[in-house]
Chains A and B, each alone.
Chain A
Amino acid sequence: MLKMFLTSVLNLFRKPATHLYPFEPYEPFEDYRGRIVWNEEKCTFCMRCEMVCPPGAIKIMIMEDDTKRWLWNPAQCIYCGECVRNCPFGALTQENQYSPPLDKSNKRDWSEIEREAERLKLLWRERLRKKSQAKKSS
């Protein structure tokens, strides 16, 4: 009984076990698997990251004028880090910060992007085929 009383009194002065989040900032661990950062200068658009990504959160769009775009969907990413380990040119890094929540400013229609990327890739292959044929005939 006395012990119980003592514990209750002492508990009045102890720190709470929980984290008062918005008032105390929460720092993720040093090696937390957070958002993926892409370095445009190093990237050669080899498409390796797109190939190894388990949920298909990376899409590379090859535009009709042969410029390329690298797109990443933070909502679909499972933060496994497979793309970072597999990038042969070190163009990808994983930070220990959480990716920002999706809102109107950064929301994209990902299924539309996937469809568009597929379509553009088909066109690109067609162009490559034509080019090689032209080479052969000349």
Chain B
Amino acid sequence: MASESKNKTREIQIKEKVYTTIPFGSQHVALPEPIKFIFDTENEIVKEIKFDIAYVHRGIEKALTTMFDFRKAPYVVGRVCGICSAAHTIPCAVVMERAIGIDREIPDRAKAIRMIALEINRLQSHFLINGHLAEVCGYENVFMHIWRDREMIMDLADMLFGNRVQYDVVCVGGVNRDIPKDKERVLLDKLNEIEKSVEFMEKIFTKDRTLVSRLKGLGVVSKEMALEYGIVGPMARASGVKTDCRVEDDWGLYKDLGFEMVTMEEGDSLARCLVRVRECYESIRIIREAIKSTEEGEISIKVTANPKYEAVCRNEAPRGELFYYVKGTGGIMPDRVRIRTPTLANIPILPEVMKDVSYNDIPPLLMSFDPCIACTGR
């Protein structure tokens, strides 16, 4: 008798709609960074999303105009985000050079080393997020494999630049460390190994049934939507938008080295993930080309003037377009610095995509967006 009534209540519960509000963050296992979402769900389906960012505001833009002179700025902005440290230091140095008016005089070797730093940075970031994506899908094994291989890239950065995370190799006027011949050789050897592990990653994300069926068709962003919301980076490229600041801005040698953009048409989580995997091949190719095309030599020029012009620089960080603006007045500190990070551009589309998605699909969906909240907070 008792079990009968229990069955009855369960039936009623399933038929009825249950509305729940679930807070996700600001501390969550799937997201080691502070961002807060509030999901209003109907049964399991998410109906409304509110979000809250900037828990980690550090006032770096203000500090650059009041505390640190322009030569120290690249070292300061490297600390905006640990994962894309080189991606921040490079545009900061470039924008200061443009504000001084010496950006045309930077030696090619310095540009090549900047590119190598950026691409190594991109490799480790893409490995990180793909591993993380596998983990939130419940695939711990793949996560450990990918992160083990990521360690190789971190060691490579340690060997070349002297630190695993903060490369600090870029300064205003060039770079402060050259890559000698013997290290070049080690780098090229290691790149072969890294290429193998990228192949492994591609095999997993294209052939493995569990991952593919979990990610395919999840959170589709159409091309029109991508253009309307102005999303950037691998996310936009996964929806078929041809945008990549490596060809759109000319601080590096990307155009000379024949850089090719990776785009896909599907726009779902799997496509975003695969764009990142395929970009790894492109990064490896670019590093090889950059080493081949330049010789050891002059790596920096002397900076004597202070920034006096207004300048902008766009750089392709691992997560998308990173924008720096500086207004110099001839003093040692600029008047205004503005940093626009890629995640800030990618967040407004999140509520749109997350609507009508089952709640247990939210963590992989969010991970495929590759949010970096520390950047967004600054």
A residues lining the B interface (CB < 8 Å): 17, 28-33, 52, 54, 78-82, 85
Smallest CB gap from B163: residue in A: A33
Q: How far is the CA of A31 from the CA of B167 in the complex (A)?
A: 12
Contacts of A80 in B (CB 8 A): 75, 168
Q: By the criterion CB–CB under 8 Å, are B159 and A54 in contact?
A: no
Contacts A54-B76, A80-B75 given; indicate if A29 touches B158 (C-beta within 8 A): yes
Contacts of B148 in A (CB 8 A): 17
Contacts of A82 in B (CB 8 A): 72, 75, 171, 176
Smallest CB gap from B68: residue in A: A54
A10 to chain B, nearest CB (A): 15
Contacts of A79 in B (CB 8 A): 162-163, 168
Q: By the criterion CB–CB under 8 Å, are B72 and A29 in contact?
A: no
Which chain B residues in 48-95 approach chain A with CB under 8 Å? 68, 71-72, 75-76, 79
A128 to chain B, nearest CB (A): 23
Smallest CB gap from B76: residue in A: A54
Q: How far is the CA of A31 from the CA of B168 in the complex (A)?
A: 13
B116 to chain A, nearest CB (A): 15
Q: How far is the CA of A81 from the CA of B74 in the complex (A)?
A: 13
A43 to chain B, nearest CB (A): 22
A25 to chain B, nearest CB (A): 16
Q: How far is the CA of A78 from the CA of B168 in the complex (A)?
A: 9
- The one of B75, B155, B162, B176 that contacts A54, using a Cβ cutoff of 8 Å: B75
Q: By the criterion CB–CB under 8 Å, are A81 and B68 in contact?
A: no
Which chain B residues in 313-328 approach chain A with CB under 8 Å? none
B residues lining the A interface (CB < 8 Å): 68, 71-72, 75-76, 79, 148, 151, 155, 158-159, 162-163, 166, 168, 171, 176-177
Select the residue from A31, A54, A79, A85 with max chain B CB neighbours within 10 A. A54
- Chosen A-B contacts, 19 in total, with CB atoms closer than 8 Å, are A17-B151, A29-B155, A29-B158, A29-B159, A29-B162, A31-B159, A31-B177, A33-B162, A52-B71, A54-B68, A54-B76, A78-B166, A78-B168, A79-B162, A80-B75, A80-B168, A81-B176, A82-B72, A82-B176
Q: By the criterion CB–CB under 8 Å, are B158 and A85 in contact?
A: no
Q: How far is the CA of A116 from the CA of B163 in the complex (A)?
A: 33
Contacts of A29 in B (CB 8 A): 155, 158-159, 162
Contacts A33-B168, A54-B68 given; indicate if A81 touches B75 (C-beta within 8 A): no
Contacts of B79 in A (CB 8 A): 78
Smallest CB gap from B166: residue in A: A78
Contacts of B155 in A (CB 8 A): 29
A96 to chain B, nearest CB (A): 8
B42 to chain A, nearest CB (A): 42
Contacts A33-B162, A82-B75 known; list 10 others, CB within 8 Å: A29-B159, A30-B159, A31-B177, A32-B162, A33-B163, A78-B166, A79-B163, A80-B75, A81-B176, A82-B72
Contacts of A32 in B (CB 8 A): 158, 162-163
Smallest CB gap from B180: residue in A: A31
Q: How far is the CA of A90 from the CA of B295 in the complex (A)?
A: 27
Q: How far is the CA of A33 from the CA of B161 in the complex (A)?
A: 8
Q: How far is the CA of A29 from the CA of B79 in the complex (A)?
A: 22
Smallest CB gap from B183: residue in A: A31
A38 to chain B, nearest CB (A): 19
Contacts of A81 in B (CB 8 A): 162, 168, 176
What 3 pairs between A and B have smallest CB-CB spacing?
A33-B162, A54-B72, A54-B75
B20 to chain A, nearest CB (A): 40
B167 to chain A, nearest CB (A): 10
Contacts of A28 in B (CB 8 A): 158
Contacts of A30 in B (CB 8 A): 159
Q: How far is the CA of A30 from the CA of B182 in the complex (A)?
A: 13
Contacts of B151 in A (CB 8 A): 17
Contacts of B171 in A (CB 8 A): 82
Q: How far is the CA of A82 from the CA of B69 in the complex (A)?
A: 14
Q: How far is the CA of A54 from the CA of B78 in the complex (A)?
A: 12
Contacts A32-B158, A54-B72 given; indicate if A85 touches B176 (C-beta within 8 A): yes
Q: How far is the CA of A29 from the CA of B154 in the complex (A)?
A: 12
A55 to chain B, nearest CB (A): 8
